[in-house]
Amino acid sequence: MVSIDHMIRAALRKDNLISNAMLRACGIPVPRLFRAGTIVRVDEYDGLMECFANHGSPMDGRHA
């Protein structure tokens, strides 16, 4: 499972709706990294899918 600190560090590298929502949810002020209307390089989104990857569930191994 990914730690909250890891998610915050990843979100601080981006400036998009998802990263800003993550920062707000964690109580971190949202910095403005890019000017509105700026064209962002494709590699700015490297690692985004890792945030959504499901490598396991806290419910795995739970016995009824």
Q: Is the pTM of this model over 0.85?
A: no
Digit-coded pLDDT (tens) for 26-48: 999 888 766 666 666 777 677 77
Q: Which helix (H) or strand (E) holds 22?
A: helix 17-25
Residues with Cβ within 8 Å of 2's Cβ and at least 6 positions away in sequence, in order, are 50, 51
**Number of domains the chain contains:** 1
Asked, for residue 59, whether it belongs to a domain, the answer is no
What is the Cα–Cα distance from 16 to 39, expressed in whole angstroms? 12
How does residue 17 score in pLDDT terms, banded at 50, 70 and 90? Answer: confident
Structural domain of 34: 4-52
Domain-located, residue 64: no
Residue with the bigger pLDDT between 64 and 3: it is 3
Q: Compare 33 and 52 and report the one with higher pLDDT.
A: 52
- Is residue 8 in a domain? yes
Residue 61 lies inside a defined structural domain of this protein: no
In a domain, 22, yes or no: yes
Residue 24 forms part of a structural domain: yes
Would 20 be classed as within a structural domain? yes
Does the residue 36 lie in any domain? yes
